[in-house]
Amino acid sequence: MEITTADDGVFERAARIGTEQRNPASLGLDEMSALEVLELLNTEDGNAVAAVRSVLPQLAELVEAAAGRVRAGGRVHYFGAGTSGRLAVLDAAELLPTFNLPDGVVIAHIAGGDAAVTRAVENAEDSREAGAREAGDLGPDDVAIGITASGMTPYVGGALEAARANGALTALVACNADAALAPLADIPVLAVTGPEVLSGSTRLKAGTAEKLILNGFSTALMVALGRTWSNLMVSVVATNEKLRARTTRILMQALEIEQGEARELLESAGGDLKAALVAGLASVGVDEARSLLEETRGSVRDAIARAVRS
């Protein structure tokens, strides 16, 4: 009996992509010891790191383009399904506590909605229409980043197509050289990771590569937007005791002062680390520090430079 699929073209394309091939190094996977399996996984993760390094120029281009649009009031939207979507949700969620980024600046969309974060939603990734709907309100100042290991997920394709039609900048993060959706991306970021240790399980090194790319993109974007000072997390939201202690340490490190003085300065600034930092570094009052930060969209470095010029 001949076995067919609903779309033999999709079947044939999927069979050709690198992440679906069998990895010769793991043909004896079920005969390996636990240590041997872990060593092989670790080796392949190293290959993922190398694949990401090869696309850093394209990723830098995306960071710079996104920073310009966010400064103009635009937003960054991630679109993904399955593992890719969950990684996107994680990356976006971590930007508030780390960088005090307001809601609605970096937004993650996952095929199947919130339920898909913790449980697989069957067939959600196959809906090009759902992706198009979720990207329907993007505009020329926005950025749409599709994340898909295979580079052919219909949900992501629908989103990129709709975003491009509305004038948004589009990008694709994928782990195959011949990503079918690449023509929909103004900036393709294709980190070719090759066959997985467990064939087709792209939660492994393809997921590692996607996580590295998202980490790099969002961190570099926040640096470009002035939400750090030096290598310090000066925008961190102190919502618990650990983070309140961290803000004190950051101020101590930046100003080279003792703990008591740092706490007093933070208290005078109402716990606002950036205001305390600008006040200390620019030798101005807390109220003036706040005004300078407002004028420079929260950039500590630009606020200090403006204080020096005045």
Using one digit for the tens of pLDDT, what is the confidence trace for 273-307?
A: 999 999 999 999 999 999 999 999 889 999 999 99
The residue annotated as part of the active site, out of 125, 134, 196, 210, is 125
Q: How many CB atoms lie within 10 A of CB 257?
A: 15
In 3D, which of 304, 232, 302 has the Cα closest to residue 273?
A: 232
Looking at the chain, which residues constitute the CATH 3.40.50.10490 domain(s)?
Answer: 25-224
Euclidean distance between CA atoms 237 and 209, whole angstroms: 28
Q: Which residues pair with 106 in a beta bridge?
A: 76
The residue annotated as part of the active site, out of 12, 31, 44, 94, is 94
Euclidean distance between CA atoms 127 and 254, whole angstroms: 50
* DSSP H or E stretch at residue 267: helix 259-268
Question: Could you tell me which CATH class the domain 241-309 is placed in?
Answer: mainly alpha
Question: How high is the pLDDT of residue 286?
Answer: 95
Question: How high is the pLDDT of residue 3?
Answer: 35
Report the length, in residues, of the chain.
310
Contacting residues for 241 by C-beta, under 8 A, at least 6 apart: none
Question: How high is the pLDDT of residue 10?
Answer: 61
Contact 194, 21 (CB under 8 A): yes
Euclidean distance between CA atoms 278 and 55, whole angstroms: 36
CA trace torsion 11, 14, 16, 21 (10° rounding): -120
In 3D, which of 186, 182, 123, 193 has the Cα closest to residue 157?
A: 182
Residue 294 falls in the annotated catalytic set? no
Pair of tokens at residue 22: 């069998």
Residue 125 falls in the annotated catalytic set? yes
Task: Give the number of C-alpha atoms closer than 13 A to the C-alpha of residue 205, restricted to the C-beta side.
Answer: 29
Terminal-to-terminal C-alpha distance of the chain: 82
Looking at the chain, which residues constitute the CATH 1.10.8.1080 domain(s)?
Answer: 241-309
Euclidean distance between CA atoms 182 and 173, whole angstroms: 9
Question: How high is the pLDDT of residue 11?
Answer: 56
Question: How high is the pLDDT of residue 240?
Answer: 87
CATH no. of 25-224? 3.40.50.10490
| Spans of the chain below 70 pLDDT | 1-15
Pair of tokens at residue 264: 């007093």
